[in-house]
Structures are given as structure tokens and as C-alpha cells.
Structure 1
Amino acid sequence: MGSYAYRSVIIASLSTLLALGLFRFAYSALLPLLIQAAWFSADTAVYLSVANLCGYLIGALAANPLNRRFSHKAIIIAAALLGSLSLFACAIAHLPIAWYVWWRLLAGITGALLMVLAPAWALRQVPVAAKNRASALVFAGIGLGVLLSAFLLPYMPLLGLKHTWLIIAACSLLLSTSIIVLFRGLPKPASTATLPTATVSANTATPASKPAYHSAIFIILAYGCFGMGYLPHALFWVDYLARELAWNLHAVDTQWLLYGLGAALGNGLGFVLVKQWGWMKANSLCFILYAAAIALPLCSQNASILALSSFVCGALVPVMVAMSSGCLLVLLGSDAHQRFWGYATAFFSVCQFGGGLIMSHVLSSSGQYAYLFMLGAALLFGGGLLSYRPYYLQKH
């Protein structure tokens, strides 16, 4: 990769770190402390998570229309700065609930804009031979953001919620500033002759072929199943450990740290699986593995079993995002990738938002986290079946 491609990949990685690592998952780590400190009731705290998911849906739907009016650079920088501002705003305690709803909504909108536009733009700058490695690097930012919140968790009671919010917001602003500096220092892009046009592997379908579009629909449907299925751990895991199992903060932090370590290391695993089995088969196998991992709390509440669940589920979050993006890139080529990745992110957001509402309602009405794990495992298993179809079409 040339200098332009490397910088583009770094910008996209920082964008995914902000989008999901800080604008989304940092709140999951804060959730039990917000309830204990009486900032919010349990139900209000969970529904604020849903407000963030709603914002993600809005941002995913708005990303491509906005990109037709404004440059990717302007949107990425604006989204990074506004998302950082939302974190600073959440540090102010004891305001009307509408204040926090608006800022969590904005965090979701800006996160989706970063997730749709930054990876697709960066991967267009990367030569064909480096796409697999570049995709792993782009989505590694998700895991690094989760890991940051995991390292902060044991210090949160000492720092207090206000200062914790401010530290996360300051980190976000620093990363946003880094994105601005990287954009300003971008050299001229490489010659278009070195950039990908239609294929990323020997078995890539022609972008205009009907089988490729048919297969892409199954990838998008499977990605929607992931959007609902990953929520029991992504949204409720820390709350489950702290409130349902009544674990102390050190034990909860250990589990969230394992989740963060998994998320930080996961894309390396994904890269190996893709090299071994190819995008389609690896994607389907990861769905089945995720379904098994998310169902582990139904089998045992032993700390080692839950640690395995934490690590594997954390590892597969960035892997599933990168796999879904990579499968669409393989099927459709670079020219159509951003448009279809936007469709996929929008559908993911619809399913995520609907799943957040459903799971929040199930939890508040039943108080049983087990129902969430059962639902998540079933959805991910369904996603595995859907994502197997493109692999089957490739072989036949």
C-alpha cells in the first residue's frame, strides 16, 4: 500500500474506534454505575441505549444521501467532532432526561455516519492484494475502543461518573483531532491504475451479475440477524453480571476486559479464517461460533465459562462487521461497495433498533436475562444459515 492508502486505512480505523468503541460501547460499561449513582432508573438507562440505536439507524439511512451533497472528508470530520461533543454533554448530571436522549441519539447518528463512509472510502484506496489486511485494520478500531472502556471500568467509581465521561470525551476529541491532522497530511492519491475496480479475488463475481446481487441480499439479511443477535452481550452483559449475578466490580471488570481483549484481537483471527476458508465460508462459520458463545450463559454461570463467552463474543464483534463488509466487496466490487454497505448498515440498524426495543421490553417485563441469550443465539444461528447461501452458490 502507498502512503495515501495507509493514511486512509488509519483514518478509517480511528473512525470505527470512535463510532462503536466510544460512541456506543463506552455507555455499556457505564450502565450499572449510572443506575447505582441514581443518574437514571434501570429502565431509563436501558432505553437511553435504545435511543443510541435509533440514532444509528438515522445515521445509516442518511449517510449516502449526505455523501452525495458533501465530501466524505467533511462528513467524517463533522461526525467525529459532534460525536465527541455528545460525550462531553453527557458528563453534566441531573438534567432533564430529554437532554441525555438527544445526545445519545446524536452519538448514534454520528457513529453510523463514520461506520458507513469511512471504511468504504478507505478500502477504495487500497490495492487488490492488500484488501484483506486493510479490512482487518479498518475494523480493528472497534476492539480498541471497547478495550479502552474496559481499562477505565475499575477506576470509574473512584473517578466518579462526571470525570469518567470527561475522560472518554477527551479521548474522543483527541482521536477526532488526529483524523483532521491525517486528512490534512494526505498526499495525492495513487494512480487509479493501482486501485481496485471490480474484483478482490479470483472468485469475485462481476458487479453487474445477477448471482452476485442475489448473494449480497443474503449477506445483508444475515448482517441484520447479527444486528439483533449481538445485543445481549453488547448492550446488557455488564448489567447482567452486576445486577443479575451480583458480582463485585472487580469480577465484572475482568469479564468486560476479556470482552475488550477479544474485540481488540478478533480481526487477527478473522484475517486467518479468511485466508484459510475464504470470505463466504468464514463468515458463515463465525455466525455459528457466535451463536454458541452467546448461549454459554444458559449452560453455566461458572466464571470460566462466562469468561469464554466474554472473550469469544467480544472477538467476533469486529470480525462480523469486517466479514460482512468484505463479503459485499468480494461479491460486488469496489464501485458498488459503499452503496450496498450503506444498505447493509441501514438494515443492521433497523434490526438493532428493533432488537433493542424488544429485548429492553422483555427484560423489563420478565426480569429474565436468559430470554435475551436464547433470542440472541437463535438469531445468530439463523444468520449463519442465511450467510451459507452465498457460499453454496459459489460452489455450485
Structure 2
Amino acid sequence: MSDERMPVYRVLSGSVAILVGLGLARFGYPPLVPGMVEAGWFSAAAAGYLGASNLLGYLVGALTASRFGERVGAAAAIRFSLVLIALSFLLCAWAAPFAWFFVWRFVSGWAGGVLMVVGASTVLTTTPPSRRPMAGAMVFSGVGLGILFAANIVPWLTAVSVSWAWAAQGALCLVLAGATWWAWPGKQASPAAASPASEGARAGRGLSLVVLLVVVGYGLQSVGYVPHTLFWVDFLAREQGHGTGFASVQWSIFALGAIIGPFFSGWFAGRIGWYGALLVSVTLMAGAVLLSSVAEAFLLVSLCSLVVGAMVPGLVSMTSGYLAQLVPLAQHQRAWGWATTSFALAQAVGGYALAGVFGVVGTYPPVFVIGGISLALGLVVTALTGSGRARA
């Protein structure tokens, strides 16, 4: 039936929005740091603060995205954010004061938060229910594509010129913004037919508690992301003594997992439902993060890299899809904004806390154990939603 067809152009454009907003705006920055430090633009410490400014901007973006999208419209919010990120790269393509870079890194984070909330929600709520698992997979695979680009292309660009690396990413963002410009509706498109679960949720007073549990569980799960996204490469290269070559291979495996993870999640959710797929996936990630604290053999380390890499965007995709099942589609953007804010806040706090733990104990395994425990707690909280969730 025609009303069950996936809006392919919009779904692919959603993937581009996530690629630009998170894959490039966040993961395209770390490979630039060594070149900037060597060129004398900033010290390593200053470059680290610039990276943190992006996380702060992302948190503010998640907090304000829903209201901003409602005020200016989804299409305008998405296009504006894509252009802002392109400008944030282009306007940092030469040496400038720290404050200049801080502002533009913050702006890129804010725009990334808007794209995550408004872009993802616009795609999911205008896609027929039967197509949402695959649509979500395609959208959130943009994270993995950005990580892969950052891991393999950005270092090569930086070796040519730091300025060229900044400018090239800005130009790529402009091209991608132009290619997807007309994918977004001039007005917020009418939501695709809601499932009975979503419709029934309108009258359910207990729904707010269920959504709150999903949001809290998602925040706890986000702490489990921190060990691999911040410390995995250094843990393998220095503490385990495998060297940078081994660690680089593992980061590429992580990126590969981040590309295929959303598709696995979409396939899995299509067969056992969002709730069951989310619980199984959180369990897998918790096990892989805990195992990472002791894994040293190449195959075991690679398995951890692949599973955690797959679950990083996979859990994002499944949480967004699960919320689309739990709430009326008109409320999905706001609920997803709450979840993204919880994720961003807990990840930021968790990042500083785990860095503090490492500073005290001087070794990484306890950091991974704490991350695994946080995922397990998130699993318990999410599992509690099974008794009160709306059912199709």
C-alpha cells in the first residue's frame, strides 16, 4: 500500500543530519587535535576544553531543540543547524583566539543536539509504523559513518594541512546540507498512522511514569558509552601495551560496528518488538563493556569493539523507536528531547566522574567495570517499563 512506503529521501536525509550533527561535528574534531597542537594553535589541554565545549553545546541543544523546532518548524530548524555546523568548520580553518574556537565548537554542539532531536523525530514520526525499525536503522547509521570518516579520512587531511582539514569538513557539510535541503517538509508533515499503542497512550496517566523510566534508563546507559568513546584507544595502546597500530584497528572495528549496529537493531526490533530488543541489546553491551576490562587477545578485544560500537547507535535507535511506540506521535519530539537531554547530561557527568576515577586509581579496568554496572542499572530501570507500557 502506498501509505506504507518508506519516505526514502527523507530517511536518507535523516541519516545525513545525524552524520553531520554527531558524526562530523563531534567525531570529526578529535583527529584534528594532534595537528592543531603540533602547529601551535593550542596546547593539548586547551584543545581538550574545546572538545568539552561541543558536549556542553550538545546538552543545551537537546534542552532547547523541541521548543526551537516547534517555534520555527522542523524544516527550518534542521536546515539552520546543518548550515551552522558547516560554518563552525569553515570559520575555524585558521589560527584564532581560544574564545573564537570555543564559541564555534559550542555552536556545533548545539546544532548537533537540535539535529538529533528534531531530525530523528521528524523522520520517525512521518514514517509508517511497519517501516520505522529500518528507518531508524538508516538514520542512526550516520553516527558510524561519521566515526569511520573521522578515523580514516580526517587524519590524512590533517597531515596535509590543519586548515584544509577544517575547511574540507565544512565544505562536505555544505554539500550534504544542499543535497538534503528539499527532504524536509515546509510544514511539519502529518504523522504517519499511529499504532494502537500510541493512540491508547493518549488517555494513559501512567504513561508519564513509563516514559520517565525510559528516560532515566537511557541516561544510565549513556554512562556505559564513556569508557570506549573516551578511553578505549589509550587503554589498548598504552596500558595494555598493544601500540597505536593495534588501537587504530580496534577503533575502525568500533566504527564498523557503529555502522551495522542500527541495522541489526532495526531487524531485531522488527521481530521481537522494541521493548525486547532494547533489553537484549543493553544486556549485550553491558557484558561487552565489563569484558573489555580484562580482554587482551585480539579476537576477544575485537569482539568487544564490534559489540560496543554496534550498540552505541543501536541503543539510540531502539530508544527512539520505543518512545515512538509509547507516546502519541505528536509528542515524540518532546519525549525524545527529554531522553536526549538525559543522555547528554549523564554522559557529560559520567565522563568527568570516570576521568576522576582514573586519576585516583591510575588504571582503566575499574572505569570499564563502572560503565558496565551503570548499563546494568539502566537495564533494570528500562525493564520496569514492561509492566506499564502500552501494547499493540
What is the TM-score when the length of structure 2 is the normalising length? 0.88
Query: Is the alpha carbon distance of 1:81 and 1:338 closer, same or farther for their aligned partners in structure 2, counting shifts above 3 Å?
Result: same
Distance, in Å, in 1 between the alignment partners of 2:285 and 2:40 is: 34
Query: Is the alpha carbon distance of 1:188 and 1:359 closer, same or farther for their aligned partners in structure 2, counting shifts above 3 Å?
Result: closer
Residue identity matched to 1:131? R
Q: Is 1:325 aligned to residue 320 of structure 2?
A: yes
Distance, in Å, in 2 between the alignment partners of 1:67 and 1:187 is: 12
| Alignment correspondent of 1:223 | 218
| Alignment correspondent of 2:174 | 173
Work out which of the residue numbers 87, 90, 97 in structure 1 matches 2:89. Answer: 87
Work out which of the residue numbers 195, 198, 206 in structure 1 matches 2:194. Answer: 198
Work out which of the residue numbers 341, 345, 349 in structure 1 matches 2:344. Answer: 349
- Deviation per CA, 1:312-359: give whole Å up to 9, x if none: 111111111111111111111312111111111112122122223323
Distance, in Å, in 2 between the alignment partners of 1:158 and 1:378 is: 39
Consecutive unaligned residues of structure 2, counting only runs of 5 or more, are none
| Alignment correspondent of 2:108 | 107
Residue identity matched to 2:107? L
Pairwise CA distance, 1:104: 1.8
Work out which of the residue numbers 287, 291, 294 in structure 2 matches 1:296. Answer: 291
| Alignment correspondent of 1:74 | 76
Work out which of the residue numbers 198, 208, 213 in structure 2 matches 1:213. Answer: 208
Aligned 8 A contact 1:213 1:331 in 2? no
Distance, in Å, in 1 between the alignment partners of 2:300 and 2:327 is: 40
Q: Is 1:122 aligned to residue 123 of structure 2?
A: yes
SS in 2 for 1:13: helix
Aligned 8 A contact 2:32 2:155 in 1? no
Aligned 8 A contact 2:201 2:390 in 1? no
Distance, in Å, in 2 between the alignment partners of 1:61 and 1:395 is: 26
| Alignment correspondent of 1:5 | 7
| Alignment correspondent of 1:20 | 22
Q: Is 1:150 aligned to residue 151 of structure 2?
A: yes
Distance, in Å, in 2 between the alignment partners of 1:22 and 1:107 is: 10
Query: Is the alpha carbon distance of 1:23 and 1:395 closer, same or farther for their aligned partners in structure 2, counting shifts above 3 Å?
Result: closer
| Alignment correspondent of 2:63 | 61
Aligned 8 A contact 1:204 1:330 in 2? no
Distance, in Å, in 2 between the alignment partners of 1:27 and 1:197 is: 40
SS in 2 for 1:210: coil
Aligned 8 A contact 1:267 1:315 in 2? yes
Aligned 8 A contact 2:200 2:390 in 1? no
Residue identity matched to 1:223? Y
- Deviation per CA, 1:135-188: give whole Å up to 9, x if none: 2222121121112112226635633433333333332222122222544xx699
SS in 1 for 2:94: coil
Identity of matched residues, %: 33
Distance, in Å, in 2 between the alignment partners of 1:102 and 1:367 is: 33
Query: Is the alpha carbon distance of 1:335 and 1:140 closer, same or farther for their aligned partners in structure 2, counting shifts above 3 Å?
Result: same
| Alignment correspondent of 1:232 | 227
Cα RMSD, aligned residues only: 2.9
SS in 2 for 1:25: coil
Query: Is the alpha carbon distance of 1:105 and 1:111 closer, same or farther for their aligned partners in structure 2, counting shifts above 3 Å?
Result: same
Moved more, 228-237 or 285-294: 228-237
SS in 2 for 1:368: coil
| Alignment correspondent of 1:359 | 354
Query: Is the alpha carbon distance of 1:188 and 1:65 closer, same or farther for their aligned partners in structure 2, counting shifts above 3 Å?
Result: closer
Query: Is the alpha carbon distance of 1:68 and 1:187 closer, same or farther for their aligned partners in structure 2, counting shifts above 3 Å?
Result: closer
Aligned 8 A contact 1:262 1:315 in 2? yes
Aligned 8 A contact 2:59 2:113 in 1? yes
Work out which of the residue numbers 49, 52, 66 in structure 1 matches 2:51. Answer: 49
Aligned 8 A contact 1:29 1:238 in 2? no
Equivalent residues in 2 for 1:131-150, closer than 5 Å: 131-150=132-151
Aligned length in residues: 389
Distance, in Å, in 2 between the alignment partners of 1:356 and 1:222 is: 17
Residue identity matched to 1:138? V
Distance, in Å, in 1 between the alignment partners of 2:372 and 2:101 is: 31
| Alignment correspondent of 1:258 | 253
Query: Is the alpha carbon distance of 1:188 and 1:270 closer, same or farther for their aligned partners in structure 2, counting shifts above 3 Å?
Result: same
- Deviation per CA, 1:243-265: give whole Å up to 9, x if none: 54565443332111111111111
Query: Is the alpha carbon distance of 1:331 and 1:56 closer, same or farther for their aligned partners in structure 2, counting shifts above 3 Å?
Result: same
Work out which of the residue numbers 299, 303, 320 in structure 2 matches 1:308. Answer: 303
Residue identity matched to 2:148? L
Distance, in Å, in 2 between the alignment partners of 1:321 and 1:4 is: 20
Distance, in Å, in 2 between the alignment partners of 1:299 and 1:270 is: 27
Distance, in Å, in 2 between the alignment partners of 1:312 and 1:37 is: 36
Distance, in Å, in 1 between the alignment partners of 2:310 and 2:223 is: 17
Aligned 8 A contact 1:213 1:332 in 2? no
Moved more, 214-223 or 109-118: 214-223
Aligned 8 A contact 1:31 1:238 in 2? no
SS in 2 for 1:236: helix
